[in-house]
């Protein structure tokens, strides 16, 4: 036990060493000790996440963290014993006795609910499998590696936005690194930290490409988005749409942002409708129906006090627009209501929802009363981000069907909503607060 902790701690120290050595993590406004503190906070959040998933879920096979971790360990064990059997397990071709044995142990590499072009279970299992080459089955090492990647993605996001909003660097740090749900769900051994890494790096590399026009940056953007398609297809599409909106603003020289926003959203609705009617297995309507059906099956097999139902899996496009989407909006932004709370995580989500709502209302009222000034470029960035938040919350509410899953699914949206609040928060009030801290 002690050797396990010491070995994991060595990887934590390696992460700190990389923070010190790599120029990427240096910032003129933020000291390196503070950067290390933020990184250490993520590691502490992982320890808390590990504790919750170890002791809150008494049955290991019901905890998502262990599902993927255990499958990866069995795959690695199979590879060491018989590489040929390892390939047979991956492809489910004719199996020898070793492959048959491990095929009964590995339960999530093939999932009947997965779409043909998406297997997010396989992605996180593969990540854990790669970590096994250096972790020797130490789950702490996996957690530290995935959190270093998540921290890198969040830092990339901070560096990108701080370049455009130089007076709000500390507000951005708070929004990006200290939002409770993002800190918790973004620090677990699940898909979310990898999403944070890929989204953050895609945005950072896109900014680098716009500034330097080097092909390597564009290649990195394409690579990050391609991996997102395998990990979470709807986040990949939303990121592409946000990029498209920003590019549209850029082509219009950042003029008339409201008109351009309306045009972009209209084009999105037209494209969504057309793909839903004629897109086949790539139809957004079909994808949403499949996801709802998968969650309905899960909710019928696992008793939970946090399930909710918006609609049966089969519905037409009109019902999606007029009934399912409005309900999903309410679920994502306002639920769970106080009377629906059944565990501490739901309490956290409820408090967070209403704090965000109150701060957003306050910022908007202050903006209209005192006319805070933003450049056309800053307005384009803020509007693009906020549209992405709305769409991400909408889709998370539609496909989750469970408040626990909803908190995880909307986590990237919550991160960007916190960023919007940081960009809207009145600077005069923030400066008074800074003086109090000093």
DSSP-assigned states of every residue in 36-71: HHHHHHHHHHHHHHHHHHHHT-SSGGG-HHHHHHHH
Say what the pLDDT of residue 131 is.
94
Query: Residues 363, 368, 371, CA angle at the centre, nearest 5°?
Result: 100
Same domain, 223 and 273: no
How far apart are alpha carbons 66 and 189 in whole angstroms? Answer: 9
Same domain, 196 and 275: no
Q: Is the pLDDT of residue 106 over 80?
A: yes
List, for residues 311-366, the tens digit of each pLDDT value: 676 777 788 788 888 888 888 888 888 888 877 778 888 888 889 999 989 888 88
- The verdict on residue 241 lying in a domain is no
- The verdict on residue 237 lying in a domain is no
**345: nearest Cα among 22, 41, 52:** 52
Mean pLDDT of 201-218: 91
- The verdict on residue 226 lying in a domain is yes
Same domain, 9 and 45: yes
More confident residue, 32 or 342: 32
Domain range for 154: 1-231
How far apart are alpha carbons 58 and 242 in whole angstroms? Answer: 41
Same domain, 175 and 64: yes
List, for residues 292-308, the tens digit of each pLDDT value: 777 666 666 655 556 77
- The verdict on residue 169 lying in a domain is yes
- The verdict on residue 240 lying in a domain is no
- The verdict on residue 140 lying in a domain is yes
Same domain, 298 and 390: yes
Number of domains in the chain: 2
How far apart are alpha carbons 280 and 314 in whole angstroms? Answer: 15
How far apart are alpha carbons 197 and 148 in whole angstroms? Answer: 9
Same domain, 212 and 319: no
List, for residues 373-401, the tens digit of each pLDDT value: 788 888 888 888 988 898 888 888 887 77
How far apart are alpha carbons 402 and 301 in whole angstroms? Answer: 13
Same domain, 315 and 208: no
Using an 8 Å Cβ cutoff, are 326 and 391 in contact? no
Same domain, 135 and 273: no
How far apart are alpha carbons 383 and 380 in whole angstroms? Answer: 5
Same domain, 214 and 279: no
Q: Is the pLDDT of residue 19 over 80?
A: yes
- The verdict on residue 239 lying in a domain is no
How far apart are alpha carbons 348 and 249 in whole angstroms? Answer: 37
Mean pLDDT of 113-123: 61
Same domain, 217 and 360: no
- The verdict on residue 246 lying in a domain is no
Same domain, 74 and 206: yes
How far apart are alpha carbons 346 and 408 in whole angstroms? Answer: 12
Same domain, 289 and 151: no
Q: Buried b / exposed e across 82-109, counting CB within 10 Å, b at 16+?
A: beebbebbbeeeebeebbebbbeebebb
Crossing angle for the helix pair 169-177 and 32-55, to the nearest 10 degrees? 20
Mean pLDDT of 105-123: 66
Query: Residues 374, 378, 384, CA angle at the centre, nearest 5°?
Result: 130
Q: Is the pLDDT of residue 202 over 90?
A: yes
């Amino acid at each position: 036990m002690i050797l396990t902790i010491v070995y994991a701690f060595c990887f934590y120290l390696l992460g700190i060493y990389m923070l010190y050595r790599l120029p990427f993590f240096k910032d003129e406004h933020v000291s390196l000790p503070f950067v290390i503190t933020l990184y250490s906070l993520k590691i502490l959040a992982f320890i808390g996440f590990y504790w919750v998933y170890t002791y809150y879920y008494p049955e290991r096979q019901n905890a998502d963290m262990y599902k993927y971790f255990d499958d990866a360990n069995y795959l690695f064990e199979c590879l060491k014993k018989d590489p040929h059997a390892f390939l047979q397990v991956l492809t489910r071709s004719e199996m020898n006795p070793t492959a048959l044995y491990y095929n009964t142990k590995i339960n999530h590499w093939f999932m009947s609910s997965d779409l043909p072009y998406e297997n997010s279970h396989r992605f996180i299992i593969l990540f854990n499998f790669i970590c096994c080459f250096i972790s020797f089955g130490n789950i702490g090492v996996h957690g530290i590696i995935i959190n270093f990647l998540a921290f890198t993605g969040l830092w990339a996001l901070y560096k990108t936005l701080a370049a455009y909003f130089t007076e709000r660097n500390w507000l951005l740090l708070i929004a990006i690194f200290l939002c409770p749900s993002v800190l918790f769900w973004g620090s677990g051994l699940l898909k979310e930290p990898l999403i944070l890494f890929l989204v953050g790096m895609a945005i950072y590399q896109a900014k680098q490409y716009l500034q330097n026009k080097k092909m390597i940056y564009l290649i990195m953007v394409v690579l990050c988005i391609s991996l997102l398609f395998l990990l979470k297809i709807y986040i990949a599409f939303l990121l592409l749409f946000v990029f498209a909106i920003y590019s549209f603003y850029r082509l219009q020289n950042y003029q008339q942002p409201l008109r351009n926003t309306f045009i972009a959203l209209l084009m999105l609705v037209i494209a969504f409708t057309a793909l839903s009617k004629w897109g086949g297995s790539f139809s957004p309507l079909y994808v949403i129906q499949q996801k709802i059906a998968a969650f309905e099956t899960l909710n019928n097999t696992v008793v939970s006090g946090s399930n909710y139902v918006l609609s049966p899996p089969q519905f037409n496009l009109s019902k999606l627009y007029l009934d399912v989407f409005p309900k999903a909006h309410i679920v994502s932004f306002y639920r769970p209501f106080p009377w629906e709370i059944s565990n501490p995580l739901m309490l956290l989500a409820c408090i967070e929802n209403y704090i965000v709502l109150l701060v957003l209302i306050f910022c908007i009222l202050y903006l209209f009363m005192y006319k805070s000034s933003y450049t056309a470029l800053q307005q384009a960035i803020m509007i693009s981000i906020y549209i992405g938040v709305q769409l991400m919350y909408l889709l998370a509410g539609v496909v989750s069907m469970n408040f626990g899953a909803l908190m995880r699914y909307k986590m990237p949206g919550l991160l960007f909503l916190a960023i919007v609040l940081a960009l809207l928060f009145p600077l005069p009030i923030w400066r008074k607060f800074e003086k109090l801290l000093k």
